[in-house]
Amino acid sequence: MTGQMGDAPKSDRLSNIPRGVWALGIVSLCMDISSEMVHSLLPVFFVSVIGMSYTAVGMVEGAAQAIALITKVFSGALSDYLGKRKILALAGYGLAALTKPVFAIASTAGWVISARFLDRVGKGIRGAPRDALIADITPAAVRGASYGLRQSLDSAGAFIGPLIALLLMGMLAGDIRAVFWYAWIPALLAVIVLWFGVQEPRMHRASRPAKPPLHISEIRKLGKPYWIIVMIGAVLMLAGFSEAFLVLRAQQIGLSLSFIPLVFVVMNIVYTLSAYPAGVLSDHLGRPSLIIAGFITLITADMVLALATSLWHVMGGVVLWGLYMGLTQGILSAQVADTAPPELRGTAFGVFNLVGGIALLLASAIAG
C-alpha cells in the first residue's frame, strides 16, 4: 500500500507521464465537456420540453446510474478475459458519442430515456477497461501522477462543459436542442483521440485469466490488500453523498437559482487543481497518507456544510469537498492498480466501482 518512494523524483515532471495517459486524459476531458453540456441542461429539458415529472426524472437518473455500475463490472472482467482493453473503451466512448444527436432530435420521453440509458451503458463499458489500461501503460513510479492527471483533466471537463452550455444558451436564445448538437463535437473528438492516440500493449496469452469473466476462482486471486482498498473506498463513499446535496444546501442557505451552477464550478475547479499534485505526492510519500488526509478533509467538509449559516460557509464546504475528491479519487485508482494482479486489473476496477457506487447510493439515500 505504499508508493514507489525510491523512484519518486521521476514523477515530478509532466513530461515523464506516458503519451497514452495524456491521450486518455484528453479523451476524458472532451467526453466530460460533451456529457456536461447535455447533463447540465437535461433536467430542464426533461421537464420543460418533454413534459416529464420531477419524480420520473429522479427514477430515470437512478436507474441510469445503476446500469452504469453493473456494466462496469462485466466490461472490466471481459477486458481481462479477452486481453484487450482499448476496443472496449472505444465501444463505450463511441456509444456515448452516438447518443448526443439523439438528445437533440428526441420528441418523446421514450427517446430521451433510451438515449440517457445508452449514454450510461457507454460510461459503464469504458470505465474499468480505461482505468486498467492506464496501469498497463504506466511505470509504477509515476502511477499516482498518471491517475491524478487523468482525474484532473476529467474534472476540468465537468466545469468547462456547463460553462460552454451556459454561453451557447445565451448565443442561441435558449435553444436547448441546438446546444445538444454542439455537444456532439467534443464527443466525436474524444473517440478520434482514443483511436489514434493510445497504443495498447499486447497481453501475453498465458497471463490472461483461464476462467470465464467473474469466475469465483479468479475473484479469489485479487487478494487481501485489494479488498482492503475496496473497503476503504466504500467507507469514503458512505461518509460522503451525491454532489447534488451541495446544491440543495446552498439553496437552503439562500443561493439564487441563477447562481446554482457556481457550486459545481467551484467544486470542480478545486478538484482539477488538486488531483494531479495529490497523485505526485502519493508517488513520493505513499498512498495511505494522502487517503487519510482526504478522509479528514471530507469529515471537515461535512461539518462545515452541516453548521453553515451563510453562503460563505457553504462555499467553504464546497471547496473542501473538491479538495477531498482531489486527494482520494485518483489515488484510490492507483491503489487498485498497485494491489490487483496485472491480468485481473479490469475485473478489479469493475468490482471497486460497483462497491463504491452502491455505497454512494446508500449515502445519498441517508443524506436525503
- The pTM of the full predicted model, rounded to 2 decimals, is 0.85
pLDDT band of residue 12 (cuts 50, 70, 90) is low
Q: Quick one: cell of 348?
A: 478489479
Backbone phi and psi for residue 202, each to the nearest 5 degrees, phi listed first? -80, 125
pLDDT at 247: 63
pLDDT band of residue 307 (cuts 50, 70, 90) is confident
Cβ-contact 89, 129 below 8 angstroms: yes
pLDDT tens-place string over residues 290-303 = 999 999 998 898 88
- Rounded-to-integer distance, Cα 346 and Cα 363, Å: 26
DSSP helix/strand/coil, 161: helix
Residues 6 or more apart from 358 whose CB is under 8 A from it? Answer: 69, 234
Point out the least confidently predicted range of 33-37, 101-105, 199-203. Answer: 199-203
pLDDT band of residue 7 (cuts 50, 70, 90) is very low
Across the chain, mean pLDDT equals 84
Burial grade of 33 (CB within 10 A; 0-12, 13-18, 19 or more): buried
Q: Quick one: cell of 283?
A: 508517488
Residue 53 has pLDDT above 90, yes or no: no
Sign of CA dihedral 232, 238, 244, 248: negative
pLDDT at 296: 93
pLDDT at 73: 84
Q: Quick one: cell of 215?
A: 469466475
254 Rama sector, left if φ>0, alpha if ψ -120 to 50, beta otherwise: left
28-33: average pLDDT: 96
